[in-house]
Amino acid sequence: MSFKYIYMNFILASVDEILQQLGERLRAQRLAQALPQHELAAMAGLSLGAVRKLENSGRSSLETLVRVTQALGLVEELQPLFALKRQSIAEMEQAAQARRQRAPRRPRR
């Protein structure tokens, strides 16, 4: 079975389009591993309906997404998500200073 992988630029996509694309990508990964949905559900400790919903619409809880990702052996793909990206030494110093700052104390009444 061959799959046509379509790259979607998430920057220009709606929330629904991004969810749909992620569901399709997970389905393609499952099929590439020749796993039926019910086997993936069992491996992930999820209901069949949860896997179907994730693949069909991309809608799921974050826990469901992580469980499916782990069951498919793709957990390393989650590593770069939301990691702070620093591009210069000045930005790194600024981020380090921002971590050390505290909110001002409120005056006592």
CATH of the domain at 60: 1.10.260.40
For residue 76, CA distances in Å to 11, 47, 66, 99 come to: 22, 24, 11, 27
Alpha carbons 93 and 54: distance in angstroms, whole number: 40
Q: Is residue 4 part of a domain?
A: no
Count, in order, helices (H) and strands (E) of the chain.
Answer: 5, 0
CB of 31 closer than 8 Å to CB of 3 = yes
Q: Is residue 47 part of a domain?
A: yes
pTM for the model stands at 0.71
Give the count of domains, the chain: 1
Residue-by-residue pLDDT tens, the chain, 109 positions: 444 555 668 888 899 999 999 999 999 999 999 999 999 999 999 999 999 999 999 999 999 999 999 999 999 999 988 887 767 777 777 777 766 556 677 777 7
Q: Which domain holds residue 15?
A: 10-100
